[in-house]
Structure 1
Amino acid sequence: MKVLQFTIPVPHDKSVIADQFSLPYFYPYLHRHKETQITWIQKGEGTLIAGNNMHHFAPGDVFLLGANLPHLFKSDPQYFEAENEDAISALSIFFNPDGVLASFFDLPEVRMHKLFIQQHQQGIKVPVADADRIITSMTGLRDSSGADQLVQFIHLLKGLSDINEQLQPLSSYGNLPGITENEGIRIGNIYNFIMQNYAESLTLDDVAKAAFMTSESFCRYFKKHTGNTFVTFLNEVRINEACKMLTANKFESISIVAYKSGFKSITNFNRVFRSVTGSSPREYTESFNGKIAIAQPAPEIDILKKGNSKAAFANGV
């Protein structure tokens, strides 16, 4: 039983893999692999699903994903419309601390770094203040070979371990229930359907029909695999999309943001927004703009939710 278990191709002469790629969009299905993954988003925006939580991603973001953490980098809808071959680009580093590197990670000098990886199996987003340093190590690793690549890998591990901030896990759900590969695709398609239609008057019956299930069966299935009811999940999807609009400063009024996010009542929008984010839309925007003035961070909202768009294969990242 598995969530689209991927096998990362490992060349016989490498223990650490650097995968630099440019594609129309990111791979749209929930998947996992035994390798720990570090990904730097160079171009493209969308939603990272890690376990049961969702996070916005944008250029400059760096994420660490623990081994076997179900995840999905889901491109925003416009990337599926244009089909531009170079619409997104990213650099990912893959390594397996329990594979050929096991003896290396057992060295006394490296155990601290191994502990960091173990403590963050649920994934982290690298803080803005540390991102440039981590990116430098990632590009150095990508551009080197042989023993020099291992030296850069050690620099990368040290850079991660030297992060001196309280790091929040990307996922708050230890393990997703075991599912077959076909179910993994079905869940991905459900995410896609909801993300394509969240702005409409989307009903439980609509989504159940799209999933080829009865409403009753869908409710049980959805609750089992997300820990949420459909209504709670849909509200969180809509609030996340509202947060993207608010932080991008591309809105005429909060009422229009509410409408474009799928809410027909500004009162209901304000109530749900506060329940999800802990603040009102105006407070959220002012807080974000204040942080921008200080540190220029990338916008992010961390809530339970799932992905977006058409079923198509790009890269299993």
Structure 2
Amino acid sequence: MKVLPFTIPAAHDKTIMVQEDILPHFYPHLHRHEEIQLTLILKGEGTLLVGNNMHAFAANEIYLIGANMPHVFKSDAHYFETEEAAQAHSLTIFFNTDGKLASLFHLPEFKHITHFFAANYSGFRVPQRCFGEVRDLIFRIREANGMDQFILFFQLLKSLTATGDVAPLSAQVQPRNFSDHEGMRISNIYNYIMQHCHRDLTLEEVAAAACMTPPAFCRYFKKHTRVTFVTFLNEVRINEACKKLLEGGYDSVSAVAYDCGFNSITNFNRVFKTATGKSPRAYAADFLCKAG
């Protein structure tokens, strides 16, 4: 099953779709599809962009992404610097509650499951306490066929709804509808920002890359993402800074700030605390304390 920007072809002989990817790196383009997506990361790390929010992802994590939510699993930069064929490995299940499964999800017995997905429309990371059970079901669904696969899928739905309260992947109010052309345009803008965020990146440069004037770009970006260009750029940079701080090995906090595109340590500290609720040093110390 080939994933295209903002479109995913339907499989006419399957109710649920299972896709295994073994690639040099995860995907370059933001995309969306009508199916709910459940992805098990087996190998690789990078940034998951969902709606207008970013999350660091790594191996042995599972993410559910809601229907029609723009998203992309983007590998860290060093994955694009080598031609190794098996640096990224994922297993994904796609299912559409408004497609062939619609009549099933309208049954009284499925009422709580339907409400669960409606309440968590943007998606969530499967909590660690439920990871083993959900992972094992994903593996079993991959190996099963026919009715056996369908019964395991019911068990998977039950396990997902037992995760309890989970943090949404995106604060976006509702997923927006884009044409494929608009989707590709937004994807290219996101990619440009994420690829060049480590250096001084101006509004004028990004607007020119999008073939717009700065005022027109600002209006377009805010309309389609619900955040300003500066807010999104800062979120990308803070996401990168968080990963560097947690990896350790950095010379100083200021070195992390400058490596992530900030030209002022004062501004970096302010933006970082606004985004995470902690100073960079406290953020790293808190992680080390929990890891210990």
Contact 1:113/1:157 (<8 A) preserved: yes
Deviation at 1:176, TM superposition (A): 4.9
Deviation at 1:19, TM superposition (A): 0.9
1:105-157 deviations in whole A, cap 9, x for unaligned?
33443332232222211111111121111101100111111221112112211
1:263 paired with 2:255, answer no
**Matched residue type, 1:80:** F
1:34-183 matches, within 5 Å, as 34-164=34-164, 166-183=165-182
Contact 2:192/2:206 (<8 A) preserved: yes
* CA 269–132 in structure 1, closer or farther in 2 if over 3 Å, else same: same
Q: What's the RMSD between the two structures over aligned residues?
A: 1.8
> What are the ranges of 5 or more consecutive residues in structure 1 without an aligned counterpart?
294-317
Name the residue aligned to 1:205. 204
SS at match of 2:74: strand
Name the residue aligned to 1:28. 28
d(CA) in 2 for partners of 1:121, 1:177? 12
Q: Which structure has more helix as a fraction of its residues?
A: 2
> What are the ranges of 5 or more consecutive residues in structure 2 without an aligned counterpart?
none
1:14-59 deviations in whole A, cap 9, x for unaligned?
3111111111222322221111110111111111111121111111
Name the residue aligned to 2:226. 227
1:243 paired with 2:242, answer yes
Name the residue aligned to 1:214. 213
Q: What is the number of equivalent residue pairs in this alignment?
A: 289
d(CA) in 2 for partners of 1:44, 1:124? 19
d(CA) in 1 for partners of 2:175, 2:130? 30
SS at match of 1:32: coil
Contact 1:22/1:88 (<8 A) preserved: yes
SS at match of 1:72: strand
Deviation at 1:70, TM superposition (A): 1.6
* Greater displacement, 69-78 / 31-40: 69-78
**Percent identical:** 49
Contact 1:177/1:224 (<8 A) preserved: no
Q: Which has the higher contact order (CA 8 A, sep 6+)?
A: 1
User: Given the two structures, how large is their TM-score scaled by the length of structure 2?
Assistant: 0.92
User: Given the two structures, how large is their TM-score scaled by the length of structure 1?
Assistant: 0.85
SS at match of 1:33: coil
* Greater displacement, 87-96 / 111-120: 111-120
1:55-75 deviations in whole A, cap 9, x for unaligned?
111111111111112211112
